Amino acid sequence: MSLLEVRALRKSYGALKVTDDLNLAVEEGELHAIIGPNGAGKSTLIAQLSGQSGSDGGSVRFAGAEMMGQPMHARVRAGMSRSFQITSILPGFTALENVATAVQARAGSSFRFLAPVAEETALNDAAMQALARVGIESRARIRAGRLSHGEKRQLELAIALATEPRLLLLDEPLAGTSGSEAERLIGVMRNLKRQVTLVLIEHDMDAVFALADRISVLVYGRIIATGSPAEIRGDPQVRAAYLGEETARKEG
Ligand SMILES: Nc1ncnc2c1ncn2[C@@H]1O[C@H](COP(=O)(O)OP(=O)(O)OP(=O)(O)O)[C@@H](O)[C@H]1O
């Protein structure tokens, strides 16, 4: 059984079928990238999987349990989280406080048996661990608004990790970063591999092909191919639909 099994998932905006009878299987422990041309429906798919956006039909099974119809918080509790955009970071709070808030939301009342000071210590310890996993523990006491763009993207990852996901959905984690910032984030994702199952949407093809165990190619709301980076690179249908476009752009 795959950790995530998506069957016949659908969503339309008016006459536009954005997710069109989509099937996808993600195995436990893999980094599964989803690529596709602009407007293929990648962000919509992440929103549907996370429960942020509704679906018109189909099935999303996670660890054997049906998630369709479940709200986002129930999916997070089940172990399926997505990283949020920078807008969800509270700029006036420190990096540590931002993550501690997410830990608290996940932990619910499980630290409440402790005295308030000990409760705060337990929350902060867990938050510190999440910051360390993404390499920004030294920035814990800095207000989030003062972090660099790349550090904010690392903080988003820490916030998502604080919910202790078994599956983490990442929507363009490298967006807006370049050079050393992008390298650092790629390193963070490489470290997270095997610790948590990752579904990654990313436009940076070099990063995708370097990181992914498997890649699915989404075109007009359907997965047209799934395979290893080498298989995807060599797939004529994929080259025609997507990589050909990229190659033409690079060569042009
Ligand atoms: N709320 C909405 N209302 C109407 N159409 C929408 C809405 N959200 C997305 N769409 C359309 O659905 C299609 C898929 O959009 P989506 O953002 O999921 O694609 P994408 O593959 O993530 O694109 P990109 O790579 O450019 O980020 C596009 O044609 C888009 O215009």
Burial of 127 (0-12, 13-18, 19+ CB in 10 A): buried
DSSP 84: P
CATH number of the domain encompassing residue 190: 3.40.50.300
Structurally, the chain folds into a number of domains equal to: 2
Residue 55 CB–ligand 1 contact under 6 Å: no
46 CB under 6 A from ligand 1? no
Exposure string over 57-94, b if 16+ CB within 10 A, otherwise e: ebebbbbeeebbebeeeebbbbbbbbbbeeeebeeeeb
Same domain, 1 and 51: yes
Q: Where among 114, 136, 164 does a domain terminate?
A: 164
C-alpha 56 to ligand 1 mean position (Å)? 16
First to last CA, the chain: 44
Domain boundary residue, one of 108, 136, 164: 164
- The Å distance, Cα 38 to ligand 1 centre, comes to 8
* Same-domain status, 171 and 187: yes
User: 13 in ligand 1 pocket by Cβ < 6 Å?
Assistant: yes
Q: Are residues 134 and 173 in the same domain?
A: no
Which atom of ligand 1 lies closest to the CA of 203?
Answer: 25
Task: Please state, in angstroms and rounded to a whole number, the distance separating the CA atoms of residues 192 and 144.
Answer: 22
Question: CA-CA distance, 241 to 252, in Å (whole number)?
Answer: 17
- Summarize pLDDT for 28-85 with one digit per residue, the tens: 999 999 999 989 999 999 999 999 999 999 999 999 999 999 999 899 889 999 886 6
ipTM for the complex shown: 0.94
Judgement on whether residues 20 and 61 belong to the same structural domain of the protein: yes
Q: What is the phi/psi pair of residue 38, to 5°?
A: -55, 135
Q: Which domain holds residue 159?
A: 86-164
Residues 159 and 174 both lie in one domain = no
Report yes or no: 182 and 126 within 8 Å, Cβ to Cβ.
no
* Cβ of 40 less than 6 Å from ligand 1: yes
Ligand 1 atom 14: residue of nearest CA: 41
Q: Does 187 share its domain with 134? A: no
The model's pLDDT over 182-214, given as tens digits with 9 standing for 90+, comes to 999 999 999 999 889 999 999 999 999 999 999
Verify whether ligand 1 is closer than 6 Å to residue 129 (CB atom).
no
41 ligand 1 Cβ < 6 A? yes
pLDDT of residue 241: 80
